[in-house]
Structure 1
Amino acid sequence: MAALGREAGADLGDKGVLPVGAGEAPQDIKTAAYTHRQPSPSLGDAILRKPMVIEIIEKKFEYLRKEKTLNLYGTVVFGTTASFSGMLANFIFRYCFKVKHDALKTYASLTTLPFLSTIIGYKLLVTDALYSGNINQENCVLRSSLVGIVCGVLYPTGLAFSKNGRLAVKYHTVPLPPKGRVLSYWMMLCQREIKGMLIPLVFQTAYGILNGMQHYAIFESTFEKSVHEE
């Protein structure tokens, strides 16, 4: 019987007839081959989404570039108005103290220092706070107006008062004040002309409010557009 089985198997092998299941590949091999031939859906989605991501990034950069340009323009104008306020304060106190010396030196400092202090103060108190998300619209407007008042009016007024007061003492252009009453004496000497500083005070306050409102509106619109694009 064993001999007959071996002979039958040999005859089947010689005739090219294979047993059932001998020519079929295992199930896991077929699955792997099928998976290898099919394209990955996640890869296709990534290829399709890549241009969209690049477009969104480009739009964000465009929004930020426009925002920075507008904000820089408003800040520079704000600093320029502070420079004009410093020039007016210097003119008033030079007239009050009858100072005619070192005109270029005083005008240069009274133009440059208020300009720089306004830009730096606005960046620290308003711009950086907006990007960090720590202030709302009311606080933004309040801080902007305070920068205009302090850096654009009070600081140049005090600077012009001290510089020209020292020049008046140095060159004896006005009578020396009594001891212990220097500040009150000089204030009485300039009390009429110093009222002219109310003009830049009102202007800097109003411009600070408008600049703060505009800056916050630009920031809010840019943020909403960037979120909408995402």
Structure 2
Amino acid sequence: MATFGTTAGFSGIFSNFLFRRCFKVKHDALKTYASLATLPFLSTVVTDKLFVIDALYSDNISKENCVFRSSLIGIVCGVFYPSSLAFTKNGRLATKYHTVPLPPKGRVLIHWMTLCQTQMKLIAIPLVFQIMFGILNGYTIMQVFERDT
């Protein structure tokens, strides 16, 4: 479970690195890196405990569903959450420090997405890793459950 959260933390660091380069942000590095390493780690560990481990031990889900839920948690908490958090944090910092041209009024997200189109494609790397670690985590939890019961 800790390795699953750690990979989510590394995914947050990777997405923060990509979007900082995209938006040319050089300010508040420690604040963004610290939050994007700890928040995905904590959210992944807590969500995995709540939706997979506790549900498995209370017999609410099947053992096969444990692997599926674990991989979904890896996708949501390990890739989508840190990527969207890094995108919005660094986009706001870029607007605050004027490192990229200001977006037209009412089109902020579209403007930022066109700036970071190539970097968004690189988020597929942590996506593959999180799916693999989610499946591995689900199998590990299932083996521990079978050994304990």
Deviation at 1:203, TM superposition (A): 0.7
Q: Does 1:149 align with 2:66?
A: no
After superposition, the C-alpha distances for 1:102-131 in whole angstroms (9 at most, x for unaligned) are: 000000000000000000000000010011
Q: Distance in 1 between matches of 2:10 and 2:138?
A: 20
Q: Distance in 2 between matches of 1:164 and 1:192?
A: 16
* Contact 2:16–2:86 (CA under 8 A) maintained in structure 1: yes
Q: Distance in 2 between matches of 1:141 and 1:217?
A: 11
Q: Does 1:125 align with 2:51?
A: yes
- What amino acid is aligned across from residue 75 of structure 2 in structure 1? I
Higher RCO (C-alpha under 8 Å, 6+ residues apart): 2
Q: Which runs of 5+ in 1 are unaligned?
A: 1-74, 224-230
Bigger shift: residues 152-161 or 136-145: 136-145
- 1:179 pairs with 105, 109, 125, which one? 105
Residue of structure 1 in register with 2:141 after alignment? 215
Residue of structure 1 in register with 2:36 after alignment? 110
Q: Which runs of 5+ in 2 are unaligned?
A: none
SS of the residue 2:123 aligns to: helix
Q: Distance in 2 between matches of 1:200 and 1:114?
A: 13
Number of positions where the alignment pairs a residue of Structure 1 with one of Structure 2: 149
Q: Distance in 2 between matches of 1:107 and 1:178?
A: 28
SS of the residue 1:192 aligns to: helix
SS of the residue 2:142 aligns to: helix
Residue of structure 1 in register with 2:26 after alignment? 100
After superposition, the C-alpha distances for 1:161-210 in whole angstroms (9 at most, x for unaligned) are: 11101101100000001112111111110010121110110110111012
The TM-score normalised by the length of structure 2 is 0.97
Deviation at 1:221, TM superposition (A): 2.3
* Contact 2:56–2:63 (CA under 8 A) maintained in structure 1: no
- 1:206 pairs with 132, 144, 147, which one? 132
- CA root-mean-square deviation: 0.7
Runs of 4+ in 1 over 4 A off after TM superposition: none
Q: Distance in 1 between matches of 2:30 and 2:58?
A: 41
The TM-score normalised by the length of structure 1 is 0.64
- What amino acid is aligned across from residue 19 of structure 2 in structure 1? F
Residue of structure 2 in register with 1:227 after alignment? none
After superposition, the C-alpha distances for 1:119-168 in whole angstroms (9 at most, x for unaligned) are: 00000000100110111122101110011001000000010011101101
Identity %: 68
- 2:122 pairs with 181, 184, 196, which one? 196
Bigger shift: residues 110-119 or 131-140: 131-140
